[in-house]
Amino acid sequence: MKRILLTLFLIIAAFAIAAVIFVWFAAFTDNVKAESEVRINIPTGSSSDDLTAILTEKDILLSKRKLSITSRLKSSARAVRPGSYLVEPGMNSNQLLNMLTSGRQSPVNVTFNNIRTVEELAGKVGGQIEADSASLAAFLADESNYLSDGFSRETVISLFIPDTYELYWSIDAKGFYRRMLKEYKTFWDGENRALAEAVGLTPTEVSVLASIVDEEASRADEKPRIAGVYLNRLHLGIPLQADPTVKFAVNDFTLRRILNRHLEVDSPYNTYRNRGLPPGPIRCPSRSGLEAVLNAEKHDFLYFVAKPDGSGFHHFSRTLAEHNRYAAEYRRELNRRKIYR
């Protein structure tokens, strides 16, 4: 009987040792065959089966079975947390699941620039984070989401300062808005707010004017001078007469020539018919545009028009007579090149 019991004990012990070795092999030996870091995105609501499918699609795993065994042994593995993760070469199943269930995701770089509307913004950002363009657009279309922060549907685009930002991929539309609001407040804290007061504008008004300057200037070094022209006109009560605002009013930024019929359009954005600034920015104002307004060149120019040589530079004038001469040169060049709209 003792021999039978001993034999049975040894068999059980052997099976136990084999099981431990099997589990150790599944959980703690390499299970990532990638030779360099691979980024994977885990959508909200993903299960462990969804995770396996994502890893399989990326062709990352040496063995799906290893991951499956480790996942069943780790009850927490069922709670895969959404996010963007960097899978490193040589990771084992235990390390991989620990990272994915703890939510230790790696930030992604989100970049946007050259944006004219919140719909364009939603489309550009929606491809870089989990929140899609539809959810972003819907959030920004609802004025109640940001009215208490001092923005309206016309001005909310000023909140989004074009740049590259580090964000967690799993961020939702509200989270994205709150993060951009934080960046906006950081920009307008202290010195920049004082500079805005010095030129007689609120931060929102600076953003509106900066958006016009961005559209007018193809040369960055001319932005402060152009900003100075517009500030001079604002302070003197002269209509801005900014062509980009007319393009915005008629919703056609492809126009290369502004005609009299465009100048007659009935819109609060038409700065030929209305004095002062339009109701909101005509695009996302860039940092260089904002800084150009805040540090505008001090001069007595009241007019400017593009040089006809195609250089992107402008002629600046103090008198209407001088401006009209330069404007006539530019129109002749447009005619010569058969640009009629």
pTM, two decimal places: 0.88
Distance CA 172, CA 227 (A): 36
Residue 75 has pLDDT above 90, yes or no: no
What is the C-alpha separation between 184 and 235, in angstroms, rounded? 26
List the one residue out of 79, 82, 29, 30 whose CA is nearest residue 54: 82
The C-alpha atoms of residue 67 and residue 270 are separated, in whole angstroms, by 62
Say yes or no to pLDDT of 22 above 60: no
What is the assigned CATH class of domain 19-102? alpha beta
Q: What one-letter code names the amino acid at 66?
A: K
Regarding predicted confidence, which is higher, 20 or 148? 148
Share of the chain above pLDDT 90, in %: 70
Confidence at residue 337, expressed as pLDDT on a 0 to 100 scale: 86
**Band (25; pLDDT cuts 50, 70, 90):** very low
Nearest one of 243, 251, 182 to 217, comparing CA atoms: 243
pLDDT of 181 > 90? The answer is yes
pLDDT band at 274 (very low <50, low <70, confident <90, very high): very high
Average pLDDT over the chain reads: 90
Task: Please check the confidence at residue 340 and state whether its pLDDT lies above 80.
Answer: no
Token pair in block for residue 45: 């609501």
Query: What ranges do the domains of the chain cover?
Result: 19-102, 108-187, 191-336
pLDDT band of 67, cuts 50, 70, 90: confident
* Nearest in space to 138 (alpha carbons), one of 155, 122, 116: 122
Q: Give tens-digit pLDDT for 26-58.
A: 566 777 887 889 999 999 988 878 888 998 899
More confident residue, 16 or 316: 316
Q: What is the pLDDT of residue 80?
A: 84
d(CA 141, CA 150): 15
185-219: pLDDT as tens digits: 999 998 999 999 999 999 999 999 999 999 999 99
pLDDT (tens digit, 9 = 90+) per residue, 237-251? 999 999 999 999 999
Residue bearing the bigger pLDDT, 35 or 326: 326
For the four alpha carbons of 113, 114, 118 and 121, in that order, the dihedral sign comes to negative
Of residues 72 and 172, the one with the higher pLDDT is: 172
pLDDT at 264 over 70: yes
Tell me: pLDDT of 77 over 50.
no
CA nearest to 176, candidates 120, 238, 133, 114: 133
Q: Give me the pLDDT at residue 129, please.
A: 97
Specify the DSSP element, H or E, that contains 209.
helix 203-216
Other beta carbons within 10 angstroms of residue 270's beta carbon come to: 21
Spatial distance between the Cα atoms of 137 and 126, rounded to a whole number of angstroms: 9
pLDDT at 11: 61
Distances, alpha carbon 30 to alpha carbons 20, 45, 89, 107, in Å: 17, 27, 8, 25
